[in-house]
Chains A and B, each alone.
Chain A
C-alpha cells in the first residue's frame, strides 16, 4: 500500500550535560554530528564514524555508548553526558586528572572517548559486571578484582593509535582506586559522581 513520503526532519530536545537543547535535525544526523556540527560541542571526536574505534564515546543514561551510531532523533529523552560534562566546573574528574598526571594519551584525539569510557568502566565494575577477562562469571564468584587485565579488556573498545595503552591502564587504575576509597568513605553517596580525593567533609558541609 502506498504511503506519503515521511518527513525526514524532526524537532528534538536533547538533554546534554544537564542542559536542554532544542533543534531541528535531519534524521540522518547522528548524535556525534549533532554535538560537533550543530551544538559546537567538539570534545566528542569522530575517529571512524562506524563504531570501530570508540573515539566518540559518550554516556547515555549513565552508560557508555558510541555517538556515531546513535541517531540524534533517537536520543531524545535520554540523559547525555559528554566529555564537556565530566568535570565538576573547574575541578577535573579523577579520571581526567589521572590521564593528565600519568600521560594517558599522546595526540589526545581518542582521549575524550577514553575518559568517558573509563568513567563508565569504573561504574560497571562497581556494579559487579563481569568482563571477557573474568575467569568465573557466576554471581557466586563475586565481583572480579579490577586488575590490569580486567582494565585492558574493558577499555578495549577505545583504540589509541599512539599506543598510550600502558599509561591509560595506569590512569584508570588510579582513578578506580580513588573512586573505591571515596565510596568507602561515604557509602551513602553511592551513585553520585565520585568525589575527588578525600574531600567528603566539604561535600557534607
Chain B
C-alpha cells in the first residue's frame, strides 16, 4: 500500500472540493472494499477523503410514500430500519444476506453500490485484467469462471457485480442521487452501471468527482409481497453465485405487477424486465414463471463452466415466485 493523504470532510461541498483538487483522491466510506483493494494494490489513491461522517446518515419517508436513504447509512442500520422491514422486506433480506455483521456495521449504502467485482483475477495484480489494466486481457474466459457472468458480459470482461443490496434496490426502482461541484444529479439505479462492452474499466455513469448522496425508493408496489433469495457456496459469509429479488402483486388470480432482479449473473444488478413483461397480466403458476425465466435467460451467453447459472436462475425464479404467490394468497 503506498502512502496517501487523509482528510475528513466536514460537509458535502467540502468533500467535493477536496476530491476535485486531487485527481488521485478517492472517497472513503466504510472502507470495507477500498481498504482491502489498497492492501492488494488494486487501488493506489494518493489521498482519501473520508465521507463517513457526512450528515447523509438518515432514512426518511418521502411525500409520495417512498423512502430516502442517505448514502452513509450503514448496511446494518438500513436492514434494521422499521420502515424498510415493513415496506421493502426484500431489501432488508438482501442486506442481511451480504457479508457479515461486522462488515455490515461498517459498510455504507453508497460504498456498497460502488464496490468492485470479486473476480479473483481482478484482485490479483500479478494477473492480467481488462478491468484493472485496460487491454491486458481477461484470463477468466479461458480460466476459472464458474462464478462469472452469464448476462451482459463481453469478450473483454465476464466479471459480476457482487452487491446483494443493489439487486433489491434494482427491483424496487431505486434512484441514485449524487452531487458534483457542478450541482446535483440523479440516475435510476439500473442506469448507474455502464454496459461492459470493450471498456470494462469504466463502471458507472457518475460524472467524475461525483459523490453519491443517497438512494430514493418510490413506494413499493401496492399489495406486493417481496423476497430476496441468495445461493452461495457456503451457508453464510460468502458472495452469491446467484440471487434474486422479487416482488409480486396478484389480483384476481393474475399477476398485476411483478418485479424481478438477479444478482451475481452480470456486471450489474440485473433487472429482469423481459421476465416481468412475460408475467404481467398472466397466470400465477409454475409454468408461467418458468416461461418468464426462459424469456429473460434467452439472452444468456454462458461460458463452459457457468452454464449451471442459467438453470439456477430459472429454478430460483420459479421457486421464489411460487413462494410469493403462496404468501400473497394467505
Contacts and interface: CB of A to CB of B under 8 A. Distances in A.
B31 A157 contact: no
Interface residues of B, number: 44
Interface residues of A, number: 48
Contacts of A1: 21
Contact of A138 (B6, B50, B89): B89
Interface stretch (B92-100, B144-152, B198-206, B267-275): B92-100
A54 interface: yes
B80 A71 contact: no
29 contacts: A3-B22, A5-B5, A6-B4, A8-B5, A27-B4, A28-B38, A49-B39, A50-B39, A54-B102, A60-B106, A64-B101, A65-B105, A69-B30, A69-B31, A71-B48, A74-B8, A74-B52, A117-B101, A124-B101, A127-B80, A129-B80, A130-B80, A130-B85, A130-B92, A137-B96, A138-B85, A138-B86, A152-B236, A154-B101
B182 interface: no
Given A124-B101, A156-B236, 4 more contacts: A7-B5, A70-B31, A137-B85, A157-B101
B155 interface: no
A70 B100 contact: no
Given A69-B35, A157-B99, A64 B105 contact: yes
A28 B3 contact: yes
- Chain A interface helix/strand/loop/mixed: loop
B96 A156 contact: no
A27 B237 contact: no
Interface string A144-167: 000000001110111100000000
Contact of B106 (A66, A124, A134, A159): A66
A85 B224 CA distance: 47
Interface string B18-31: 00011000001011
B82 interface: yes
Interface of B: 1, 3-8, 21-22, 28, 30-32, 35-36, 38-40, 46-48, 50, 52, 76, 79-80, 82, 85-86, 89, 92-93, 96-97, 99-103, 105-106, 235-237
A132 B102 contact: no
Contacts of B21: 1, 3
Interface centre among B3, B6, B28, B76 (most CB of A within 10 A): B6
A157 B96 contact: no
A60 B86 CA distance: 28
A42 B22 CA distance: 37
Contacts of A10: 6
A35 to B, nearest CB: 15
Contact of B93 (A3, A124, A132, A154): A132
Nearest to B99: A157
B32 A153 contact: no
A152 B97 CA distance: 13
Nearest to A69: B35
Interface string A81-95: 000000000000000
